Amino acid sequence: MKNSKSKIKYSDFYGLRKEKFEFLKSHSVKNTKWQNLEAKEPFCFFVPKDFRLEGEYSKFISVKDIFEKYNAGIATGKDDVLVGFNKQDLTTKLSIRDKGLFEITMQNYGVKKDLVKRWRNELKNIEIDEQIKKYNYRPFDDRFIIYNQKILQRARRKIMDNFLGDNLGLVMMNNSKLEIFNEIFITNFLSDKHLIGHQSYVFPLYLYDQYTEQKNCSVAMFDKLDKPAKRSNIKKEILEMLKAKYNKIIKPEEVFNYIYAVLYSNKYRKKYQEFLKIDFPRIPFAKDYKLFKELSKIGKELIDLHLLKNRKLKKTTAKFCGIGLNKIEKREYNKKEKRLYISENQYFENVGLEVWEYYIGGYQVLDKWIKDRIGKNLSAEEAGHYLKIIESLQQTIEAQKKIDGLFLKL
């Protein structure tokens, strides 16, 4: 501060409204217990922060400096119209040829008249089916979207076009909104801007320049392009730095997996929680190659768990039980029974409390998935999918314990 005599003081009070009013009546500036604050640049926070580890944390490398390109996920502007649980229903909804019926249908969804007109002019001239793509909407909740920049509010094509080919992406936020950071997930398709909560950013593993350089190319035309070459989105200087550090050639995939493992360490999250609330995470790289390799291996296992591709998911400890139509009428967790009831007679059993309460970003994973399907009948495939999610979360908790053990050696 320019005026060295100036001081910033802080105080807070938590309680019910009545208690707050009583506090204000009985306290003034003079008799309130204040805490002195040091407003440090560049952020100058007006709340207490513990920055004792700042020197250590600042030596780590930000994910912004590890990856060449990243951006927020897709913003549809109208999820209930442009995102669907299955491809056929979404295609049918958007393929109404009769002008009057199309306008009435869209207006029933609350779509503004100017948008209805713009959408119709675009949709009537394209093969809609070709533009319906798989969509990572929420954790473990894949849906479908019409991927068309003239329809979507923000298509984010410079990043999302890279997912028209085989790819993976780290999904995280630029600052944690939670007491303890947990805003990290994986994507392998087009992704929603709220995939893990507030504003979800996607860091692709690969870049397909042949896709992203086709500025005037429609999405449907990408399938007709020659098989494009992919390149790493992890910067060359990072790979070179790690090569020099470990005296080994390091693959982009190893770095990607390693980052995922580190960001799932509860010890990392707790230790650096103040800094994770400010900006994208910074990554500490292991001192030796053996430790780097161990964490990278666990990171790969975690990624496969979260994509529901891990072999450990072939057998699930949870079961879907009871007799009925598989209709989700409620979501009621019984802690004592370790059961999640979806109706009076049907439930998922062997669901531990820690698994039930597991959060990824702003979402309590199991609750969110069921909540979004209230009133629907679960197919056998969907019930099986949910069982895999339960098992995946249980295996994630176990993997995090392993990571924490290795993190202490960093």
- Cis before 284? omega within 30: no
Q: Provide the CB-side half-sphere exposure for 127 (13 A, CA).
A: 7
pLDDT on residue 162: 95
What averages of pLDDT result for each successive group of 10 residues across the chain (410 residues)?
64 70 78 69 56 87 98 97 97 94 95 94 93 98 97 96 96 92 98 95 94 58 67 98 98 98 98 95 97 98 98 96 97 98 98 98 97 97 98 98 95
Is 364:325 a contact under the CB 8 Å cutoff? no
- Taking CA atoms, 47 is separated from 36, 77, 300, 358, 365, in Å, by 10, 35, 38, 29, 31
Two structure tokens written together for 46: 């007006």
Distance CA 264, CA 182 (A): 8
pTM of this structure: 0.89
Among all chains, which residue has been given the structure tokens 């979004």? 372
pLDDT on residue 41: 63
Strands (E), 241-373: 282-283, 319-322, 332-334, 339-341, 346-349, 359-360, 363-364
pLDDT on residue 110: 95
Residues 6 or more apart whose CB falls under 8 angstroms from that of 303 comprise: 168, 186, 257, 260
Can you list the alpha helix ranges (DSSP code H) found in 216-263?
A: 236-246, 252-263
Distance CA 266, CA 268 (A): 5
pLDDT on residue 23: 77
pLDDT on residue 213: 59
